[in-house]
Amino acid sequence: MAAEGTTILLAEDDIILAELYTERLKQEGFNVIHASNGEDALKFVQDYHPSLIILDIMMPKMNGLDVLKALKEDDDTKNIPVIIVTALVQEIEKINKMMTQADAYIVKSEVLPGEIIEEVKKRLEQPAGEPS
């Protein structure tokens, strides 16, 4: 799927990272919608129908794992690719349990913004529901 015109929902409460990811995604031609908490992320999914979601785990109002669960339980959103991002390496065990629902996960401290872009492109090229 071409980046031009493709909408990405970025659910990230760290404003500096959100600005960095948004800028890089826009440079690649993506439209980016930013949510700074889990409740807004769910609302924006319904409002904007993104092609892919980048979802932080630790967010205010509703954490990313609860957002992911809600997305995957809804027939309208269950096939949207989701890339989980987290700053906490200790969260990986929880994330591993959720991997049947998420399409990928990334530890923020171990990845450069360009690698996130590559993961986004990879997930958008993959047919819905196909494992990596």
Mean pLDDT of the chain: 82
- All structural domains of the chain, each given as residue ranges with its CATH number in brackets, are 7-125 (3.40.50.2300)
* Model pLDDT, residue 8: 96
pTM value is 0.77
What residue type is assigned to position 113 of the chain? P
pLDDT over threshold 60, residue 112: yes
pLDDT over threshold 80, residue 88: no
Each residue's pLDDT tens digit, 94-110: 656 555 566 666 666 56
| DSSP conformation letters of 44-100 | HHHHH--SEEEEESS-SSS-HHHHHHHHHHSTTTTTS-EEEEES-GGGHHHHHHHTT
pLDDT over threshold 80, residue 29: yes
Q: What distance in Å separates the CA atoms of residue 64 and residue 41, rounded to the nearest whole number? A: 9
